[in-house]
Amino acid sequence: MTTFEIPTVETENFRLRAPQISDPDAYTVFGASYRSAGVGGPFTEAQSFQRLAALIGHWGLRGFGRWMVADKDTNEPLGVVGLIYPSDWPETEIAWTVFEKAEGKGVAYECALAARKYGYDVLGLKTLISCTMEGNTWSEVLAQRMGATRDADFAHPDYGTMRVWRHLPPEACK
Amino acid sequence: MTVVFQIPELETDRLRLRAPHLDDWPVMCEFFASDRAKFVGGPMTAEQTWRGLATETGHWALRGFGRWALEEKATGKFIGNCGLWEPDGFPEMELGWDLMAGATGKGYATEAGAAARAHAYNALGRTTVISMIAPGNDGSKAVATRLGAAFEKMFSHVTFGDVEIWRHPTPEALK
């Protein structure tokens, strides 16, 4: 028997928890919408299921991954935030996605800070990046608000040119 | 820590059915880049294969069952994948198998398939299982036939196109 564990992290306003079988609906709605364009979408329902499975499986393969951000009171999924490092990525990335109905609540900023802290304090990573695709101004503003600065672009075989944002080092986040 | 999901281990005479590992990835890349993968959604790039491996692992969390990595007990070598698959877009629970290069012709798919099917019937309480097979995949049809399955109908899958549905014997018929 192999057991996979995903830790829960609490921020002031949100809970970062493992994705659940009841979450695919929210993820499918996001995948089918224009909002997924910044991450390679839109996606069909079947693709969203596979992407959610891969999101969970990332924890199994790497020992870290992305959480489902949930409302602390209702447990409703608000977005997906965490650390990703698939085989075709230059290094570990802090990634964020916010579902439409959760816009404007500060989900991405607060949870990305928690993911950065987790990467540095729990995983012991020395540096982290975030990648954005051209046109994703919202994410670039967020990266800068976190103190990240532009690094050399990264050419992804499928997604094309990705802008790399280098986050503040651990010492600067204390 | 929150316990999220578990992958049970099964054993047959010659095989161990265990959770997929990242160590399996290089061997899977070779298979999915090869012509032999054309019946199972390939050929795929290494990156697509990585995501596929992550998907196989995460399917266990979403469905409570999934596909195992097959390890040859005698050598400890990873030789393929087999298990139960029911992502969005599948008509019902599917029993599938992929053997990596050099692992065919030894009856491994039949051996693993029988163990995975027994898991569906005994541990999960299912009463029927299908296999979805691409029309030209004679190797897989031979395995399905050895497992007692028979062609039932065609099915049009959104990604894979037209595939054959083979229906396995019921739990009663296997007693």
Considering only residues A168 and B40, tell me which one the structure prediction assigns the higher pLDDT.
A168
pLDDT band at B23 (very low <50, low <70, confident <90, very high): very high
Please list every residue in chain B whose beta carbon sits closer than 8 Å to the beta carbon of residue A46: 87-89, 158-159
Task: Name the residue facing B5 among A4, A7, A58 (closest C-beta).
Answer: A4
pLDDT at A38 exceeding the cut of 80: no
Average pLDDT, stretch A40-62? 88
In order of start, what are the domains of chain B with their CATH numbers? 11-174 (3.40.630.30)
In A, which residues are within 8 Å of B63 by CB distance? 21
Is-contact A78 A98, C-beta < 8 A?
A: yes
Q: What is the pLDDT of residues A61-108, one digit of tens each?
A: 999 999 999 999 999 999 999 999 999 899 999 999 999 889 999 999
- Residue A32 confidence (pLDDT) above 80: no
A46 vs B20: CB contact, 8 Å cut-off? no
Q: What is the pLDDT of residues B140-159, one digit of tens each?
A: 999 999 999 999 999 998 87
**Tens digit of each residue's pLDDT (9 = 90 or more) over B91-108:** 999 999 999 999 999 999
Q: What percent of chain B has pLDDT over 90?
A: 87
Mean pLDDT of B160-165: 92
Task: Kindly tell me if the per-residue pLDDT of A39 is higher than 80.
Answer: no
Confidence of residue A24 (pLDDT cuts 50, 70, 90): low
Across the range B39-48, mean pLDDT stands at 89
HEC letters along chain A: CEEEEECCEECCCEEEECCCCCCHHHHHHHHHCHHHHHHCCCCCHHHHHHHHHHHHHHHHHHCCCEEEEEECCCCCEEEEEEEECCCCCCCCEEEEEECHHHCCCCHHHHHHHHHHHHHHHHCCCCCCEEEEECCCHHHHHHHHHCCCEECCCEEECCCEEEEEEECCCHHHHC
**Contact check, Cβ <8 Å, B55/A157:** no
Calculate mean pLDDT across residues A11-28.
Answer: 84
Q: What is the mean pLDDT of chain A?
A: 91
The architecture that CATH gives domain A9-173 is 3-Layer(aba) Sandwich (3.40)
List, for residues B116-125, the tens digit of each pLDDT value: 999 999 999 9
- Residue B147's pLDDT is 98
Does the pLDDT of residue B41 top 90, yes or no? no
Cβ-Cβ pairs closer than 8 A, A with B, add up to 122
Chain A partners of B53 at a C-beta cutoff of 8 Å?
57, 61
Provide, as residue numbers in chain B, all residues whose Cβ is less than 8 Å from the Cβ of A158. Answer: 47
Amino acid B4: pLDDT: 77
| Segment A33-56 mean pLDDT | 82
- Which residues, 6 or more positions from A141, have their beta carbon under 8 angstroms from its beta carbon? none
**Predicted-complex ipTM score:** 0.90
